[in-house]
Amino acid sequence: MGRKEFEGKITDSAGKPQLFASLVEAINLLENNGWEMFDHSITLKGRGFLYRYYFRKKES
């Protein structure tokens, strides 16, 4: 099973990037708009960590 990766910003209907006060706020927006988080990963990058969250469209 292949997986498409998309690294980008979440935008509104006018294409304006959305800003979030927290990660939970962004996850809630996606969950409330037909997406579900199915996986995540944490990778050591330099002196910090890179967090990735994977979403897919919810099945109807």
Provide CB contacts within 8 A for 2, sequence distance 6+.
none
- Indicate the pTM of the whole model: 0.69
Provide CB contacts within 8 A for 15, sequence distance 6+.
none
- Give the pLDDT score at 60: 76
For the chain, which residues make up each domain, given as ranges?
36-60
**pLDDT(1) > 60:** no
Q: Which of the four pLDDT bands, split at 50, 70 and 90, describes residue 48?
A: very high
- Give the pLDDT score at 5: 59
pLDDT (tens digit per residue) in 2-45: 556 566 688 888 999 999 999 899 999 999 999 999 999 999 99
- Give the pLDDT score at 49: 95
